[in-house]
Amino acid sequence: VPRADHHFMVGATMIESDHDGPITARSLMELLNAAYALHPAFGEAEIVETGVGVRPAYPDNLPRVKRRKDGAITINGLYRHGFLLSPAMAEQAAGLLFNSSADNSSAGLESENEADRQWRSA
């Protein structure tokens, strides 16, 4: 992702783990290889920062926007796509917020799907 001052953000491995730091050699090599495959000039790039974090996901890897029984709206399970999906998730959350009489299913959202039920029963 292009950033200011000729910086680029390269990120998001697909390693499923609850390990949240520091970055592993495998993860760094995979990301650098992907950047280099995109354009060989990345081979001369300086690494100015690394970061790690756990990105929660549901078993089916689909995000959820839900209204809880107490009225709170939750957005979860974005995994590594949070940056890209946040506008769509915010729009769905706003739909729930401003249409307070709507339940999750009338907003095109399920209150609990089969994957959620299986996950909770495991």
Residue 27 forms part of a structural domain = yes
Q: How many domains does the chain have?
A: 2
36 with 70, same domain?
A: no
Give a yes or no: residue 51 inside a domain.
Answer: no
Tokens 């690494």, residue located:
47
Question: Based on the domain organization, do 72 and 113 belong to the same domain?
Answer: yes
At residue 16, the pLDDT reads 77
- Tell me which residue range forms the domain holding 40: 4-44
The answer to the question of residue 35 being in a domain is: yes
Does any domain span residue 68? Answer: yes
- pTM strictly above 0.95: no
The confidence score (pLDDT) of residue 58 equals 87
Which whole number is the average pLDDT over 55-77? 89
More confident residue, 103 or 100: 100
With respect to residue 113, please indicate whether it lies within any of the assigned structural domains: yes
Do 76 and 110 belong together in one domain? yes
Q: Do the domain assignments include residue 104? A: yes
Could you tell me if 69 and 28 lie in one domain? Answer: no
Residue from 63, 107, 108, 111 nearest 87 by CA? 63
57, part of any domain: no
Nearest to 65 by CA among 85, 84, 47, 38: 85
Provide the pLDDT for residue 107.
44
DSSP string, 40-61: GGGGG--------------TT-
pLDDT at 103 over 60: no
What is the C-alpha separation between 111 and 47, in angstroms, rounded? 43
3-state SS assignment for residue 19: coil
